[in-house]
Amino acid sequence: MSACSSAASRGTSWPGLTADANNAYLAEGQYIYAARLSDGSKLWQYPDKAGSQQFFAAPLLTPDGQLIVGSAGTDQGLYSLDPATGKEKWSMPFTGAKDRWIAAPLVINDTIYAPNNDGSLYALKLATGELLWSLSIGHPLWGAPVTDGKLIFLTSLDHFLYAIDPQSQKIIWKVDLGGSAAGSPALSADETTLYVGSFSSKFFAINAANGSIRWTANTNAWIWSDPSINDTNVYFADIDGQVYALDASSGQNSWPNTTPDGPITGSPLLTTDGAIVATESGSVYSLDHNGKVTWSTAIGGKIYTSPVASGNLVLVAPLGAQYLLYAVNEKDGSMLPWHFDGK
């Protein structure tokens, strides 16, 4: 029985990754790491020694210079760190939730909106982490919320997409997605349409004002990846590895045969040349505007985390590879000489 207890490990998942112009912030296992992108050196790690924390959610850089990250460990804490030093900024982390933090939070003005695995959305003071209010929604919340500045849009594993008014702290509308949604919705540039996929193997375009469905598109498999949007198309992938480029107004797929080499859970990273996706097979693919592969780079391990851009670099955080973080050039996929190993 002891042999299989490790299989029942309560906390393993893929890393969360965020970057600014100079540094990457990696939520990986029991630590948050900050890595300098010029040479891959470690700036800091939090905590100094492994404790009860476990980090999956992508850390959030806030406009006032905080790095907010939730723990999926037994501490159930939401932490504010100084991105420069890794020191805690609040006097104490917020530990008022009943469960773990798997989703990244959202900041609007001076308030943090953080969805928790206990099914509640918590509103906290950005400056101190003090609880303002919480709204119980139901099932676990794994997707980061998005906002149009007025409403907060949030997916749930309970199959619904919710629109929440933070002023009244009420649900304004909700729409059934036919299956759990573990990713985030994307909001169109004009803030009128939400795009979101679910485990029902359907992709939805939804009127942000009232929750009515504008169109749906069928996919081959569950959709985990968050959509990415440009002026004309919405891009996402399914866990069978098909990449989709749907016309944002009609839902017509212009990439019917774009299937790199494995399942995709991360969001496509849009570039001027097309889109970059990372696969479970451990490779990164650059696709042109027609969905054709322009370059691919084998990283190793399994990649579930969305690739993240920093300048001309594409950062990749695989699971089970030799290193924790890799950087490739956006134009040709050539790998930078440094790899970050967390040491």
- In whole angstroms, the minimum distance from the beta carbon of 295 to another protein comes to 27
> Binding of another protein at residue 140 (CB under 8 A)?
yes
> Binding of another protein at residue 94 (CB under 8 A)?
no
Nearer to another protein, 19 or 181 (CB): 181
> Binding of another protein at residue 218 (CB under 8 A)?
no
> Binding of another protein at residue 327 (CB under 8 A)?
no
> Binding of another protein at residue 157 (CB under 8 A)?
yes
Cα separation of 123 and 139, whole Å?
Answer: 18
List binders of another protein among 31-60 (CB under 8 A). Answer: 52, 56
> Binding of another protein at residue 165 (CB under 8 A)?
no
Radius of gyration of the chain (CA): 19
**Burial bucket for residue 11 (CB in 10 Å: 0-12, 13-18, 19+):** middle
Q: Which of 55, 195, 224, 340 binds another protein (CB under 8 A)?
A: 224
Contact 257, 290 (CB under 8 A): no
Contact 212, 203 (CB under 8 A): no
Q: The tokens 């630590």 sit on which residue?
A: 31
- In whole angstroms, the minimum distance from the beta carbon of 75 to another protein comes to 8
Cα separation of 291 and 269, whole Å?
Answer: 13
CB atoms within 10 A of CB 307: 25
> Binding of another protein at residue 300 (CB under 8 A)?
no
Which one of the spans 42-50, 96-104, 184-192, 267-275 is the region binding another protein (CB under 8 A)?
96-104
- In whole angstroms, the minimum distance from the beta carbon of 255 to another protein comes to 23
Nearer to another protein, 143 or 260 (CB): 143
> Binding of another protein at residue 11 (CB under 8 A)?
yes
Q: Which of 80, 155, 201, 286 binds another protein (CB under 8 A)?
A: 201
- Region label for 220, one of left (φ > 0), alpha (ψ between -120 and 50) or beta (otherwise): alpha
Q: Which two tokens stand for residue 205?
A: 């375009």
The dihedral built from the CA positions of residue 47, 48, 51 and 54, taken in this order, carries a sign that is: positive
Contact 266, 277 (CB under 8 A): yes
> Binding of another protein at residue 14 (CB under 8 A)?
yes
Please tell me the chain's helix, strand, coil percentages from 3-state DSSP, rounded to the nearest 5. Answer: 0, 40, 55
What's the length of the chain? 343
Residue type, 93: P
Contact 228, 186 (CB under 8 A): yes
Cα separation of 37 and 39, whole Å?
Answer: 6
Q: Which of 101, 113, 222, 285 binds another protein (CB under 8 A)?
A: 222
Cα separation of 43 and 48, whole Å?
Answer: 12
Binding mask 260-299 for another protein (x = CB under 8 A): -----x----------------------------------
> Binding of another protein at residue 26 (CB under 8 A)?
no
> Binding of another protein at residue 174 (CB under 8 A)?
no
The dihedral built from the CA positions of residue 25, 27, 28 and 33, taken in this order, carries a sign that is: positive
Nearer to another protein, 44 or 224 (CB): 224
Q: Which of 22, 42, 61, 75 binds another protein (CB under 8 A)?
A: 75
Which one of the spans 17-25, 139-147, 267-275, 325-333 is the region binding another protein (CB under 8 A)?
139-147
Instruction: Give the footprint of another protein on this chain (CB under 8 A).
Output: 1-5, 7-8, 10-14, 52, 56, 72, 74-75, 99-100, 102, 139-140, 142, 157-158, 178-180, 182, 198-201, 222, 224, 239, 265, 304, 319
